[in-house]
Structure formats: structure tokens, C-alpha cells
Amino acid sequence: MSKVIIESREHVAIVRLNNGVINAINQNLVEDLSQAVHQVKNESRGMVLAGGTKFFCIGFDLPMLLKLDQNGMSEFLDKFDQVVLDLYTLPIPTVCAIGGHAVAGGTILALACDYRFVASGRKFMGLNEINIGVPVPCLPDLLLRQIVSDRAANEIVYRGQLIEPEAALNIGLVDEIFTENKLEERALVKISELAVLSQPAFSLIKGNRVRENALKFEKERESSKQQFLDCWFREPVKELLLEAAKKF
């Protein structure tokens, strides 16, 4: 796994995105993250998901994904949806340590964790998909509305604006703000506190929380993916995506 690093800390693990400065989400990162999630599930009692200090994750690797035809993009979306679902339903406690910007797909990965801790300062996060003409996918929309109010979720997905830590804390999108040098330490403390609790009991409690959204997503999985693809391959949207890809 070259795009994801697993760092063991006694009974818990840090799973660190390792795809350059911006940690763009492409096929290789998704495959490596999927392997890491399954490894941690079998070997650890808790997990911290981390990235870089400039970018936790910038979102989809547009320059690479725009090279895919519809079949290729469909396969990528299947794998991305699955790794988000696997992370969300992981039967151990998870904290996302957001040390840098978390944009679109980066925020989606954070939503799949039980807790979100963010570094203080000018760190932006949000779901800005509408600005490039595609919808927020079905699963992250469900996760977002479980975490924040429906009104706050509407503001996030309808307007596509990126927000800073204090604003994210005010609406419940993140749980705590720490200085950059304390972020991962505090995330590990949180996970370590939860990891000593009864693992079978925690797994069942978490299962109760995630079950409804997981079932809803499975019912809509294929249709929502096709709707996303229909938008992605529209000519006006392709122009927006190509323009956005120049920023990578």
C-alpha cells in the first residue's frame, strides 16, 4: 500500500493518506484505503484517519478521473462508495484528524468516521460538488444529515461553500478543534479511551447507529450512481470539470 500508510499505536492504528501533498482520491488511493480499512478491522480496536497538514484530502483526482470512460468511472464510483461504506460501518471507533483542507471527497471520508477533529486556523472543508455540476452522492448526503441538522445540510450541499473550523464546529460538522501540533495526539487519546471498552458491545451499539443509512444506501446505490454519471458526462459539466482540474 503506497498511497496509504498504517501506523500502529498499541491496540489502535493511524491510517494516513499518502498520495502527495493534496491526497487526491484516485483508483490507487481507493484500493489502498480499502485494504487498510479491512486490515485495521481485523487487527485494531480503534482507528484514526489522517492526511497531510496542507490538505487532509482535496477530493477526487480530476485530472486522472477525467481520462476514464463511463465504464471506468462507474467502476471507480463503485469502489469509492464501498470504501466509504466500509469505513462508516467499521465495527470499531474511528476519529478523522483533519489537519488540512478537506474538500468534497475529503469531507466525505471525514463524514464516514465516528468523530471529526480539525486543526485550528485556515482549514476549509465542505461539499462543493454543485459548483462543478455534479450532485453530492447518495451515501455522503445521508451521513451528513445524520451529523448536522437538515437545514445546515441544505446550506452545505445547495450552496457548495467551504467553511472554516469555527463555522464547522457551530453546526456540528466537526466535534472539536485543536492546534495543529495537538490534533493527532488528541485523536489518539479519544480512540484509546474508546478502545478499552467492550468491543462486542461497541460493535452492536455502532451497528444500531449505522444500519438504517446503510440499508437506505443499498436500495439507492445503482440508481444514484447512474444519476451521478449522467451529470459527470454532460458536456457543460465536463467543461467545468476540466477547468477545475487545472488547479491540481
Q: Could you write out the DSSP letters of every residue in 153-221?
A: HHHHHHH---B-HHHHHHTTSSSEEE-TTTHHHHHHHHHHHHHTS-HHHHHHHHHHHHHHHHHHHHHHH
| Phi-psi label, residue 185: left if phi above 0, alpha if psi -120 to 50, beta otherwise | alpha
Helix (H) or strand (E) segment spanning residue 58:
none
Quick check: is 123 in a domain?
yes
Instruction: Round the average pLDDT of the chain to a whole number and report it.
Output: 97
Gap between the Cα atoms of 210 and 85, Å rounded = 10
Q: Cα–chain-centroid distance for residue 92? A: 17
Please determine, for residue 67, whether its predicted confidence score (pLDDT) is greater than 90: yes
- How confident is the model over 130-155, as pLDDT tens digits? 999 999 999 999 999 999 999 999 99
DSSP at 129: G
Provide the strand spans (E) within the chain. 4-9, 12-17, 46-50, 55-57, 94-98, 101-103, 115-119, 125-126, 176-178
- How confident is the model over 28-66, as pLDDT tens digits? 999 999 999 999 999 999 999 999 999 999 999 999 999
- Domain harbouring 176, CATH code: 3.90.226.10
The confidence score (pLDDT) of residue 247 equals 87
The 3-state DSSP class for residue 61 equals coil
Quick check: is 229 in a domain?
no
- Domain assignment of residue 98, given as a range: 4-182
Quick check: is 208 in a domain?
no
Residue pair 74/38 in contact (Cβ under 8 Å)? The answer is: no
Quick check: is 52 in a domain?
yes
Quick check: is 218 in a domain?
no
Which three cell numbers mark 7? 501506523
- Tally of structural domains, the chain: 1
Phi, psi of 180 (to 5 degrees): -55, -40
Quick check: is 33 in a domain?
yes
Phi, psi of 198 (to 5 degrees): -60, 115
Phi, psi of 126 (to 5 degrees): 155, 175
Instruction: Please name the amino acid found at residue 142.
Output: L
Q: Is the pTM of this model over 0.85?
A: yes
Torsion of CA 208, 213, 218, 222, to 10 degrees: -170
Quick check: is 195 in a domain?
no
- How confident is the model over 168-212, as pLDDT tens digits? 999 999 999 999 999 999 999 999 999 999 999 999 999 999 999
Quick check: is 54 in a domain?
yes
- How confident is the model over 215-232, as pLDDT tens digits? 999 999 999 999 999 999
Which three cell numbers mark 57? 484530502
Overall average pLDDT of the 94-98 stretch: 98
Q: Residue 236, Cβ neighbours under 10 Å: how many?
A: 9
